Amino acid sequence: MIHYTCDMCSKPLLADEDTRYVVKVEVYAAYDPMEITDADLAEDKSEEVQELLEQMADMDAEQLEDQVHKTFRFDLCPACQARYVQDPLSRGANRRLPFGNN
């Protein structure tokens, strides 16, 4: 039997019990279509390409891929799913930080 755990609260989730939710997040570089002109094609870009290659030389394949595309998958219990859909970017988390009275 496969056992799942809520990735937010760590509650055990069994495949044959309770409702289990899956969250898939995909983050990728957004590229807007460019109009390439004759002037763009005539321009020598070899220096820019060389600079990019030099920057990339110090990075491993995973770092390079993460800049272009990254996916995440999370299992959530019903309570955490309800919280997630109310605030998927966790904007409210910054407003609810507990500070002591100093």
Burial of 97 (0-12, 13-18, 19+ CB in 10 A): exposed
Please report whether residue 94 resides in a domain.
Answer: no
Please report whether residue 81 resides in a domain.
Answer: no
Q: How many domains does the chain have?
A: 1
Please report whether residue 50 resides in a domain.
Answer: yes
**Per-residue pLDDT tens for 9-35?**
999 987 666 688 999 999 998 887 778
Task: Yes or no: say if 15 and 1 are a contact pair by the CB < 8 Å rule.
Answer: yes
Please report whether residue 59 resides in a domain.
Answer: yes
Please report whether residue 15 resides in a domain.
Answer: yes
Q: What residues contact residue 67 under an 8 Å CB cut-off, 6+ apart?
A: 29
23 DSSP β-pair partners: 74
Please report whether residue 99 resides in a domain.
Answer: no
Question: Which residue range forms the structural domain that includes residue 14?
Answer: 1-30+46-71
pTM, 2 dp: 0.61
Please report whether residue 38 resides in a domain.
Answer: no
Higher pLDDT, 24 or 68: 24
